[in-house]
A and B are shown apart, each in its own frame.
Chain A
Amino acid sequence: MNYKTKEKIYEKILLASAFISVITILLIGGFVFKEGAPLIAKVGLVKFLFGTQWSPTSGEYGIFPMILGTFAVTLGALVMGVPLGVSTAIFLAEFAPPRVNRIVRPAVELLAGIPSVVYGLFGMVIVNDVIMYVERTYLAGILRPEYQRGYSVLSASIILAIMILPTVINISEDAIRSVPREYKEASLALGATEWQTIYKVLIPAASSGIIAAVVLGMGRAIGETMAVIMVAGNTVAVPDSIFAPVRTLTGNIAIEMGYASGDHVRALFATGIVLFVMIMLLNSVATFIAKKGVSRS
């Protein structure tokens, strides 16, 4: 075999490995839809998405409580995680002296590397205990007894807020650092203070990157499974308070997949379809925003 043929073969092999990720994403979509779609067709899309009854034993599959649960914990995570994350990003990009940077940056990296089950364990032992104490000491008269066990929207939100910090910090910091130096220099030269420069020049200029960071953080919160299961309580009910125990879409799959069979399995795959579509939409939004920012500057 001459070297030209060999070169051609190598190229084809490399092309094939490059396409594996494309093939995988198609397979993931294909398999999850193939397994889940028949159940959605059987139950009806509207009833599946907006039904509030989930009882596999009697064949009722409505995932509305889980959709709301996912939204509730994600919103809570963003409310707590985004301000802290973006402020830390500004701090790292603008204020932190190199010595402090050398402590904070590895800390953020480690935060990103800690397995989600460790966050879950911490949440289940410490965060839930603190919340349970508050519930039983100060709110005992107001809350129903099943809302006094610590497992709640609030504790899931706190843990998720910590977990999305690295995503929010890293991407917003990149965005802030990529603002041209001249913008900042011009602002300072005009007599603006550092804070005025940050608030009126840097943040607006970096806004598309910061929004992309928030959207990706949101994706991480929606997709997180183990930590949420460990702290959220997993009751199937529409959450009506931040102290309500809650089940998310991811939790629904992870908890019941172990013993499900028949239509029940298909219903869990159908839950997977909803997650898959949500994440694909979110990521497209993030890519779109990030691109818009790049083309404008």
Chain B
Amino acid sequence: MSVKTTQKMAKAALWTAGFCTVAVLSLIIGYVMLEGIPHVNWQFLTMKPKKMGSEGGIFPIIVSTIYFTALTLAIATPIGVGAAIYLTEYTREGKITKIIRFGTEALAGIPSIVFGLFGFAFFVIALEPITRGWSLLSGALTGATMILPTLIRTSEEAIKTVPVSYREGSLALGATKWQTICRVVLPSALPGIVTGVILSIGRVVGETAALMLTLGGSMRMPGSIFDSARTMSMHLYLVALEVGTKPALDKAFATATVLILTIFIINTTANWLMKNFIS
């Protein structure tokens, strides 16, 4: 076989690979949406689930998902941004940063079911007087530990892109380090930090395994952060696998459609932010 033929064949094969990747995605999204869209309607979005979720809608579950996401971000964002500020503004690369980086990287690799075991043993059982066992709070604390690595990494990158001259200008005007960070560095890094937060929302909304062991799984409308709840991902799983009848599967596909649309909106927003505010 001549060199030229090999080149042509290789090129064709690589084009095919790229095409296959897109085709797989289109197949999954296309199929799930085709099955789901006919069952997504106003009633589905605004009614309570009935008969274990095989009838009715998912309104309380949407509300729980929003509560859960907000609570998780409220816990994780200050810690993640604080850690990123410390790593970029207060230390040089050394022993301490090495330990912190090791911790963050290790955390990023842990499977979510292991986070679930930890959350169950620590937040649900050991801290029961505070978290009331299986609750939105226990789930959010577990979720917060899971998104911490992403938050730290994206915030660090955002803070690093702020030019040193900004800091020098602020310090030269007599501002303290903390004032410089709060009024100069963080505002300039904000779009990058927000992008990181939005990407974390995606992770939180899609998470299931860890929540199965910490969130409780109630279908009712949550009254407070101490109530048991379930997110849309959890609902999809519980309805599809533990009910599993044809109407339940329809509801599962409808929930999956809502989930995919949510993720799509999140990704698009993050991309838009990156394109328009971060050079």
Contacts and interface: CB of A to CB of B under 8 A. Distances in A.
Interface of A: 3, 6-7, 10-11, 13-25, 27-28, 31-32, 34-35, 83-85, 87-88, 90-92, 94-96, 100, 103-104, 106-111, 113-122, 124-126, 162, 165, 169, 193-196, 198-199, 216, 219, 222-226, 229-230, 250, 253-254, 257-258, 268-269, 272, 275-276, 279-280, 282-283, 287
A113 B267 contact: yes
Contacts, number: 260
Nearest to A124: B240
A87 B14 contact: yes
B106 interface: yes
Interface string B221-253: 000000000000110110011000000010011
B177 interface: yes
A13 B90 CA distance: 12
Contacts of B18: 87-88, 91-92, 95-96, 100, 104
Interface in B203-231: 205-209, 212-213
B113 A223 contact: yes
Nearest to B97: A18
Enumerate the 7 nearest inter-chain pairs by beta-carbon distance, A residue then B residue, closest first. A223-B111, A115-B206, A87-B17, A17-B82, A22-B103, A225-B209, A195-B10
Contact of B17 (A7, A28, A88, A268): A88
B166 interface: no
Interface string B12-35: 011101101110111011011001
A15 B90 contact: yes
B86 A31 contact: no
Given A21-B83, A116-B208, A230 B237 contact: yes
A121 B111 contact: no
B17 A91 contact: yes
B273 interface: no
A108 B13 CA distance: 19
A219 B108 CA distance: 11
Nearest to A272: B117
B173 to A, nearest CB: 15
Nearest to B6: A195
A117 B210 CA distance: 13
A268 B266 CA distance: 35
17 contacts: A17-B78, A19-B100, A21-B103, A27-B122, A28-B110, A28-B114, A91-B14, A92-B18, A94-B14, A95-B15, A110-B25, A115-B233, A117-B236, A117-B240, A120-B240, A121-B240, A250-B209
A162 B28 contact: yes
B213 A276 contact: no
B208 A18 contact: no
Contacts of B109: 216, 219, 223, 279-280, 282-283
Given A90-B14, A225-B112, A269-B117, A24 B25 contact: no
B10 A198 contact: yes
A254 B111 contact: no
Counting chain B residues whose Cβ lies within 8 A of the other chain, the interface size class is 35 or more
B107 A25 contact: yes
A90 to B, nearest CB: 6
Interface string B188-213: 00000000000000100111110011
A18 B87 contact: yes
B114 A275 contact: yes
Contacts of B207: 115
B21 A169 contact: yes
Most buried by B among A7, A106, A118: A118
A39 to B, nearest CB: 13
B170 to A, nearest CB: 14
Given A10-B178, A95-B14, A280-B106, A165 B21 contact: yes
A14 B82 contact: yes
A223 B146 CA distance: 14
Interface string B79-106: 1101101110010000000011011111
A193 B17 contact: no
B228 to A, nearest CB: 13
Contacts of A27: 118, 122
B99 A24 contact: no
B45 interface: no
B277 interface: no
A115 B111 contact: no
Interface stretch (B47-55, B56-64, B66-74, B255-263): B255-263
